[in-house]
Structure 1
Amino acid sequence: MKIKENYKVREIAGENLIVEQGKSQSDMTKVISLNNTALLLWKELQGREFSLEDAAEVLMNHYGISKDQALVDAQKWVDALGNCGIIG
């Protein structure tokens, strides 16, 4: 899977928000705010193909958590972005 290139993270009013580039009008009913962990995953994985295991590895390396917990957390991140069509 891969984060679609037309989506970028922008800091707006102190929040890290995902915005779709190239649209003349933004649909503000679909604003996605990233917490620090979600932003870490975004920064580490954007621009390349990655697997659920790759995302879990980022979490394990950064937070020192177990593989099982990292996989659960990574799956939540992938599901959230996938449900919004940001990961393809």
Structure 2
Amino acid sequence: MKLSDEFILREVAGTYIVMPYGEKSVDFNSMITLNETGAFIWKKLEQNLPRSELVLALVSEYEVTEEQASEDVCRFFSKLKDAHMLD
């Protein structure tokens, strides 16, 4: 999965915010906040890592099982897809 080029992640006062820009900013009139784990996954997606490597990155960064990390990545992808943030 690939992130849409029309969204950008910014850290503002310790809070991670995903904001639209370009043409997307006309249709998308809100911001999305991410927790630390969501921001971690987003940054890995910016590197175009495949899903399997995202899962392994979560396992090595956080104290979670591979199964839990896989479920978390799946839920995160689902939320991005629902918000039309994936190409």
| Structure 1 residues not aligned, in runs of 5+ | none
Corresponding residue for residue 17 of structure 1: 17
Shift of 1:14: 4.2
Corresponding residue for residue 81 of structure 2: 82
**Could you tell me how far apart the structure 2 residues matched to 1:56 and 1:3 are?**
17
The runs of at least 4 consecutive aligned structure 1 residues that moved more than 3 Å come to 23-26
SS in 2 for 1:73: helix
Q: Deviations over 1:2-25 (max 9, x none)?
A: 011121012345421111111464
Q: How large is the RMSD of aligned CA atoms in angstroms?
A: 1.9
Aligned residue-pair number: 85
**Could you tell me how far apart the structure 2 residues matched to 1:32 and 1:15 are?**
10
Q: What TM-score do the two structures reach when normalised by structure 2?
A: 0.81
Q: Mapping of 1:44-83 within 5 angstroms?
A: 44-48=44-48, 50-83=49-82
CA separation of 1:84 and 1:21: change in aligned 2, threshold 3 A: same
**Could you tell me how far apart the structure 2 residues matched to 1:69 and 1:27 are?**
32
Aligned identity (percent) is: 25
